[in-house]
Amino acid sequence: KEIENGQVFTPPAICRLVAESLRPSVSDVVADLTCGKGTFFNFMPVETNCYGCELDARAYKVAHFLYPGARLELTDIRTYKPDLRFDYVVGNPPFNLKWYAENREYLSQFYYCVKAAQVL
């Protein structure tokens, strides 16, 4: 199932490196558009400023349990429509899947970039 969904969960050391490189402030709002178990949220300064969506119900349940203050949705990135703009988008998109969105075909990693640009 993980291969079918293009899932590769990001190691905590990589999440830490990304967070330390970005240095988000306590007022910055951060999104992970394919949040998995929410590992990136562990390294953000304020849990309640973390937003995410996840398609896999089991991963979503783990993230929701670990980060109860984060604003998570059990949905596909292609249908995720947050009502705000984010200061940062972090994440590890699914790779090399053919996705149909907005009346065209995308590789999943490219669509992740398109969606990130829309919500920043």
Among 7-11, 58-62, 67-71, 106-110, the minimum mean pLDDT is found in: 7-11
Rounded to the nearest 5°, which phi and psi values hold at 105? -100, 140
Q: In the predicted model, is pLDDT for residue 3 greater than 70?
A: no
> Residue 24: what pLDDT?
97
Q: Which amino acid is present at 49?
A: N
Q: How confident is the model at residue 9 (pLDDT cuts 50, 70, 90)?
A: confident
Say if residues 19 and 41 touch (Cβ distance below 8 Å): no
> Residue 11: what pLDDT?
87
pLDDT tens for 70-118 read 999 999 999 999 999 999 999 998 888 898 888 999 999 999 999 999 9
What is the radius of gyration, based on Cα positions, of the chain?
13
